[in-house]
Structure 1
């Protein structure tokens, strides 16, 4: 991600090793590159399920909560503050579809009937869930 205030690029690194996780941030830009260990307040976050997307300095990615594929959440990492936020959407297995012109993140459920679309408004931090009826006949 890019922090436009500090004019620095930052990389979030998450490493797993036999049940323990380490979160680090690499800062690139002015001065020497530097790694810092940061803390994440959620010990039960597992591997990302899909590629994330970085919008306005915030990385959004989907990961499992408990190791069960059907329980997922959106992890939001703000590169400026280097803080995590979490958006839980129950038992929906989500993947990114894209971003609207109004900067809403569009997500879709992978295995649900009826088919669900989710719109996450980054400014208001709200999620709208739309159920699409009639998709049962399509695999």
Structure 2
């Protein structure tokens, strides 16, 4: 799995690559456009299974992942493109999809299951998550919602 990001401070493009070797994930970073290309190994404090596409906002790559592969333990993985460090946000109790970004730079994620239907707003500056549960969707049990834009 490879992710493409941009560091607006240093004005550099980087690729985060995650490969599995001998049952373990290896994380490598490549900076594009400077000198001879070379991959650098970085460490992750926790292995995880990647579930979704990524988005890069203000120099941070975000993607959904799981520790065990079960939907109950999903988290948002944050990769700071400048510092090349991984961080984990564990508030995700449903299968999530990236929906967009608000005008106040909050990342919006939504559950894919109708009952309950949740929206999550992650404030990147305050590092807080607000969960909004939408009521009235009980007539549509066990169906998936495709909210991709």
The reply to whether TM is greater than 0.5 is yes
Residue 3 of structure 1: which of 4, 7, 10 is its match?
7
Q: Could you tell me which residue of structure 2 aligns to residue 52 of structure 1?
A: 54
Q: Could you tell me which residue of structure 2 aligns to residue 22 of structure 1?
A: 26
Larger mean Cα displacement after TM superposition, 2-11 or 121-130: 2-11
Structure 1 residues 68-114: Cα deviation after superposition (integer angstroms, max 9, x where no partner) = 13320000000100001100015322111111111100001122522
Q: Which runs of 5+ in 1 are unaligned?
A: none
Q: Could you tell me which residue of structure 1 aligns to residue 128 of structure 2?
A: 126
> CA shift at 1:8, angstroms?
1.8
> CA shift at 1:18, angstroms?
4.5
Count the aligned residue pairs: 137
Over the aligned positions, Cα root-mean-square deviation in angstroms equals 1.5
Q: How does 1:1-139 map to 2 (within 5 A)?
A: 1-43=5-47, 45-46=48-49, 48-111=50-113, 113-138=115-140, 139=143
> CA shift at 1:26, angstroms?
0.6
Q: Could you tell me which residue of structure 1 aligns to residue 146 of structure 2?
A: none
Mapped contact 1:73–1:89 kept (Cα < 8 A): yes
Q: Secondary structure at the match of 2:72?
A: coil
Q: Which runs of 5+ in 2 are unaligned?
A: 144-149
Q: Secondary structure at the match of 1:67?
A: coil
Q: Secondary structure at the match of 2:113?
A: coil
